[in-house]
Structure 1
Amino acid sequence: MSLLQRIVVDPAVVHGRPVIRGTRMRVSDVLALLASGASESEIVEDYPYLTVEDIRASLEYASATHAARCSLDGSNLSSIASSR
């Protein structure tokens, strides 16, 4: 199974936000945990229904959606930088 197959979007689950398959855990929640400094092992310990592969799938999903939204010429990057 591809890591991205672990991520589903269903309008009936968490208002259609991307979640880990078979759970209500949003990809954004996993990313927030990682951004706050939690390790993969800490997340799996605190959320035993998740696996390391689920966490990596969340990262891959975030990377794929970010890449799809950004242009290769960097025009989006300049607007992001100027807003900081």
Structure 2
Amino acid sequence: MMHNDVEHIGWELTGWEDDDNAAHTSSLSRAEVLRIKELFPERGDDDLLATAVYPVAPELYAAICTAVPHVEFAPGLDYMLGGFRLS
């Protein structure tokens, strides 16, 4: 589980091409992550989706777009969601 140092964490939803190039990225806020975390039951006690990178199945796209309206998914990309420590 993450400690309470959330002001130093950022989140990105990244779409990857077949050749492992990041082709599309959306930044997410803490509030947005909290709205979609339940879509990722594999997170265990990672309440902020910040200790791993989670694959985003196409079946989740509509639910994520409903919860986070600025997010878009480009066709043909494999999406991953993860947190990272801001410098």
TM-score (norm 1): 0.31
Higher relative contact order (CA 8 A, sep 6+): 2
More helix by share: 1
Higher strand share: 2
Larger Rg: 1
